[in-house]
Amino acid sequence: MFKDKFLLSIIIGTVTLLSLGIVLVSNSSSGAKLTESNSEVITGVSSHDWGTIDMNDGVVKKTFSLTNEGEGTLELANVKTSCACTYAIITVNGKKSPQFGMHSVSSWTGKVEPGEEAQVEVVFDPAFHGPQGVGAISRQVTIETNDKSNPAIEFNLTANVINAQN
Domain boundaries along the sequence of the chain: 41-162
pLDDT at res. 89: 98
Is residue 104 predicted with pLDDT exceeding 80? no
Could you report the per-residue pLDDT of 113-123, keeping only the tens digit for each? 999 999 999 99
Could you report the per-residue pLDDT of 5-28, keeping only the tens digit for each? 665 566 665 655 444 444 444 433
Could you report the per-residue pLDDT of 26-85, keeping only the tens digit for each? 433 456 777 777 888 988 899 999 999 999 999 999 999 999 999 999 999 999 999 999
Query: What superfamily in CATH does domain 41-162 come from?
Result: Immunoglobulins (2.60.40.10)
CA distance 149 to 151: 6
- Structural contact between residues 121 and 63, judged by C-beta atoms closer than 8 angstroms: yes
pLDDT at res. 9: 60
Q: Average of pLDDT values for 138-160?
A: 96
pLDDT at res. 3: 67
> Distances in Å between the alpha carbon of 149 and those of 12, 31, 36, 141, 153?
45, 21, 12, 19, 11
| Apex 160 CA angle, 48 and 55, nearest 5 | 110
Instruction: Please enumerate in sequence order all residues whose Cβ is within 8 A of that of 131, keeping only pairs 6 or more positions apart, or say none.
Output: 55, 163, 166
The structure's pTM equals 0.78
DSSP 8-class letter at 98: P
Q: Average of pLDDT values for 141-147?
A: 96
